[in-house]
A and B are shown apart, each in its own frame.
Chain A
């Protein structure tokens, strides 16, 4: 079975400090990987997605960056955090799943999330 890990679960950082959030997926290969941010319990804002190692698509211009150094590892970074970076960060993956039906990339599965507070 497939699992997705994300850490840390919570983080409090001062303005101007760096950030590194990590996400790893187990039990699948060549997944699509995604970083989302959710503010104030509302909808999901897609930040980055990756369809392969070293391939990153950025959806929103900002002071965040993402990297995919390995097939099942996705990292979200910032050199200097802003107050507006506070939020709930979710990593997700989609890929080949087998539940007794044809495999597809349709579904997307989420990690447990990181709640970031920038003070």
Chain B
């Protein structure tokens, strides 16, 4: 059975801290890994990673994939209260099948 595991489940940091969120996976026929941010409503897309070792970056957020060790990390530097959200990791496997989601990491950034 395809599985995506995120850690930690929740995290509380102070503004300005740097955080690293983890996502490991065990799936057959890996195609891509996606990160989403969910605040109060629908998850919004952050990154899609398909190649190992290539960092994707958007402002203070960055992510990298290790296909050999089957994991990805999402880094957020200089955190702000607006970064508080649930961060979801999902994996696309081959074929016309749905994404496999992890349970998410709830990040709380306090002033």
Interface residues of B, Cβ cutoff 8 Å to A: 31-32, 34, 41-45, 48, 50, 86, 88, 90, 92, 96, 98-99, 101-104, 106
Q: Is the CB of A108 within 8 A of B34?
A: yes
A-B contact count (CB 8 A): 48
Q: Is the CB of B96 within 8 A of A105?
A: yes
5 A-B residue pairs with CB within 8 Å: A41-B86, A49-B98, A106-B50, A108-B45, A113-B42
A112 contact set on B, CB distance < 8 A = 41-42
Q: A43-B104, A107-B34 are in contact. Are A34 and B98 (CB under 8 A)?
A: yes
Q: A49-B98, A111-B42, A113-B41 are in contact. Are A44 and B88 (CB under 8 A)?
A: yes
A42 contact set on B, CB distance < 8 A = 86, 103-104
- A86: Cβ under 8 A from any B Cβ: no
B99 contact set on A, CB distance < 8 A = 108
Q: Is the CB of B42 within 8 A of A107?
A: no
In the A-B complex, list the 9 residue pairs whose CB atoms are closest, starting with the nearest: A43-B103, A110-B42, A44-B101, A43-B104, A49-B98, A106-B32, A110-B43, A113-B41, A51-B96
Across the interface, name the chain B residue whose C-beta is closest to A90.
B42
Interface residues of A, Cβ cutoff 8 Å to B: 32, 34, 41-44, 46, 49, 51, 59, 90, 105-113
Across the interface, name the chain A residue whose C-beta is closest to B98.
A49
A113 contact set on B, CB distance < 8 A = 41-42
Whole-angstrom CA separation of A105 from B98 in the bound complex: 10
B50 contact set on A, CB distance < 8 A = 106
Besides A108-B98, A112-B42, 9 more A-B contacts (Cβ < 8 Å) are A43-B102, A43-B103, A43-B104, A90-B42, A105-B96, A108-B90, A108-B99, A112-B41, A113-B41
Whole-angstrom CA separation of A86 from B22 in the bound complex: 29
Whole-angstrom CA separation of A59 from B98 in the bound complex: 10
Most buried by B among A34, A59, A106, A112: A106
